[in-house]
């Protein structure tokens, strides 16, 4: 079983790459963003709560995210593994993920960070915001606030997973195919 965590600032290409990896390795892709959007679209209580934070350009609190993630894993008991995209974002979430997976006799196999320049990512997100309808992709100030949140809360996970010898970093700039090959070269060694 392969359980991967994809890291990267908003716009780094986690979702795009997860689609290729999901197919290649026959994994279940759990995108925190997709789970949020599903809950928001369907006006669930968790969805309404998540939307209130996202509208401010803030990350959703840990417990809301953890509750959503655990429900998604439980929906796929026969999975060969999972790609966690957008989770964990904090050390507390990482510890919760480890504890949850351990209860299911699983663990995180590896974490991979897609690294990219902030200005490149802002341009990507503003372009995505033209068609996505997402309010958090249409305002550069909100985008940069999300980057600050990432730097403060998520970037420290590098040390957490490095201590477990599970952290890998790749260049997230280039063609989709080239980035996919970089990811697969790491995953094939796990």
Active site residues: 14, 89, 128, 134, 146
- Distance of alpha carbon 25 from alpha carbon 15, whole angstroms: 15
Do the beta carbons of residue 48 and residue 159 sit within 8 Å? Answer: no
- Contact status, residue 87 vs residue 150, Cβ threshold 8 Å: no
User: How many residues in the chain?
Assistant: 190
Distance in angstroms (rounded) separating the CA atoms of residues 109 and 94: 13
Token output for 45: 């209580």
User: Which among 72, 65, 116, 68 has a CA at the least distance from the CA of 92?
Assistant: 65
* Residues 137/125, Cβ–Cβ less than 8 Å: yes
């Amino acid at each position: 079983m392969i359980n991967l965590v994809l890291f990267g600032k908003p716009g780094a290409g986690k979702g795009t790459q997860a689609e290729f990896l999901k197919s290649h390795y026959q994994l279940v892709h759990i995108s925190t963003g997709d789970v949020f959007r599903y809950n928001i679209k369907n006006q669930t209580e968790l969805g309404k709560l998540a939307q209130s934070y996202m509208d401010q350009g803030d990350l959703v609190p840990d417990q809301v995210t953890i509750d959503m993630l655990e429900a998604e894993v439980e929906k796929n008991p026969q999975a060969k593994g999972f790609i966690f995209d957008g989770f964990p974002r904090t050390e507390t979430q990482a510890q919760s993920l480890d504890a949850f997976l351990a209860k299911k006799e699983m663990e995180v196999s590896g974490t991979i960070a897609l690294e990219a320049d902030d200005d490149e990512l802002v341009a990507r997100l503003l372009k995505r915001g033209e068609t996505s309808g997402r309010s958090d992709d249409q305002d550069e100030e909100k985008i940069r606030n999300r980057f600050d949140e990432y730097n403060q809360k998520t970037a420290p996970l590098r040390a957490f997973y490095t201590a477990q010898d599970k952290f890998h970093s790749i260049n997230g700039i280039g063609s989709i195919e080239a980035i996919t090959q970089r990811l697969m070269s790491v995953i094939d060694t796990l």
